[in-house]
Structure 1
């Protein structure tokens, strides 16, 4: 049996995770297991949900669980988040609705406008992968869209889990993600397409440096998550601007003359001073 701190209202809550059989859903189960709340996972495939729930030490059920839930977390693909969230909120008597979408504008604002005013609404974005074992020091963005007792209890719990919580607005989140996700991933996408202009991937592997192998591992990781990566490229409203800026910078550095080298050196030196943990 887990030993947990008493988080009052959260410890007495029924927590339903829709999409709980996915990688992020399973990570959320692990994150919330010390809260004392009763956790349930819902999926279109009840048999699969029951099997995974058993391995995680929680319960599974169908969407009727929402009617008695205090907290409902939406962990589905971005394209389905609005529909699933609104349908869930309509079934809730009261309580807290949470989304974990990687894109906020065009998703969270639409959900907020559509759900009943009696429902609290918190938008989260875990800035880490599903395979982590320790949440201490990991970054998570939170946006309080309709605050209440459950919202504040959840935030206090996440602080207790030693997450590095970053409060943001919808706009600020998506602007930052335009650099961190859109531009970052776009650079890898361009590299993936461009590499085969020189030789096949198998041929390039034979000439790999240690650094290049690290890059190939990152490309492999992105390829396994390509639908999410491309969805963010399409849905973040600042994505086109980020890609355009990236291409303009790349074009401005084509010649690598003395002025361009000076510019590159100045920028790279800033990264040499970073304290990355």
Structure 2
């Protein structure tokens, strides 16, 4: 099935109940998917780490097995679960790294495989307006009902390869987490009176504080694992930190001309790219086949 076909088929209002098992279904994201899938009539079971004695029952008869566990455990759980799956069971994961999990699913399961990455946190109330990255693996047709479900709930599906996904997430996710993580740590270190600062803040500052607050309301393991998930992410964060350090030195030496030059160089970059990233904001959600281009000195 082509990428266009994956997301262009119209969703149907009729739902045939499916047997679904979510591994890690008591986690926050697992709970969200269980609730949303159950609401439309699917039969959703949960398998947690203490439930593996029931794995044969919970996995063998499932039409879909959804892996929703922390990044560091995902590949091991896939290998363990694959031993119980029938050849026609659809297997997918929803972790924020796609290359290694998709490879593991393809290697250890002979049936349908697909990688998903929900581009949102577990606090949402519905999938309306939310992006989900789709990384096809094998036998895409077996997942069409799931993709139709996401679309019918208002989700936007974006299809790409696992490698394209992971390269883009270095910038979209890992470095952004580090920026906000760093800002939060700084504010705590200098003991800023957040409440007072918000009384005289700009809209941008209020928005940024809200984002930082939401980051630090999460499980710390999740935040840290997102930053440390791959060597490419660690390298990019290190490169970003070097950039901070270089610019901070210019500030420390009050090198106004150098700072203006840095600003103008970056201004040119954004002016050249402006049409590229404004267009998706002004159009209806659609498939995007993207090929990330990041030209830096870092090894990613």
Task: Tell me which moved more, 260-269 or 158-167.
Answer: 260-269
Please, which runs of 5 or more residues in structure 1 have no aligned partner? 47-60
1:193-212 aligned within 5 A: 193-196=185-188, 199-202=190-193, 205-208=195-198, 209-210=201-202, 211-212=204-205
Shift of 1:19: 1.4
Give aligned pairs, total: 253
CA contact (8 A) 2:114 2:140 kept: no
- In structure 2, the CA distance between the partners of 1:214 and 1:148, relative to structure 1 (3 Å rule), is closer
Please, which runs of 5 or more residues in structure 2 have no aligned partner? 1-11, 251-255, 283-300
Q: Which of 230, 243, 251 is the equivalent residue of 1:236?
A: 230
1:69-218 aligned within 5 A: 69-94=62-87, 95-113=89-107, 115-117=108-110, 119-196=111-188, 199-202=190-193, 205-208=195-198, 209-210=201-202, 211-218=204-211
- In structure 2, the CA distance between the partners of 1:265 and 1:149, relative to structure 1 (3 Å rule), is closer
TM-score (norm 1): 0.78
Using the alignment, how far apart are the partners of 2:20 and 2:78 within structure 1? 14
Task: Tell me which moved more, 170-179 or 13-22.
Answer: 13-22
Superposed CA RMSD: 2.9
Tell me the SS of whatever aligns to 1:238.
Answer: helix
Q: Which of 14, 20, 25 is the equivalent residue of 1:6?
A: 14
Shift of 1:264: 4.8
Q: Which of 241, 246, 258 is the equivalent residue of 2:240?
A: 246
CA contact (8 A) 1:43 1:62 kept: no
Aligned to 2:44: 39
CA contact (8 A) 2:79 2:104 kept: no
Tell me the SS of whatever aligns to 1:259.
Answer: helix
- In structure 2, the CA distance between the partners of 1:148 and 1:139, relative to structure 1 (3 Å rule), is closer
TM-score (norm 2): 0.73
- In structure 2, the CA distance between the partners of 1:252 and 1:45, relative to structure 1 (3 Å rule), is same
Tell me the SS of whatever aligns to 1:145.
Answer: strand
CA contact (8 A) 2:98 2:135 kept: no
CA contact (8 A) 2:70 2:222 kept: yes
- In structure 2, the CA distance between the partners of 1:134 and 1:271, relative to structure 1 (3 Å rule), is farther
CA contact (8 A) 1:105 1:237 kept: no
Shift of 1:219: 2.2
Shift of 1:148: 4.6
Using the alignment, how far apart are the partners of 2:188 and 2:86 within structure 1? 55
CA contact (8 A) 2:68 2:93 kept: yes
Using the alignment, how far apart are the partners of 2:246 and 2:156 within structure 1? 37
Task: Tell me which moved more, 120-129 or 32-41.
Answer: 32-41
Q: Which of 222, 242, 263 is the equivalent residue of 2:265?
A: 263
Shift of 1:141: 0.4
Aligned to 1:56: none
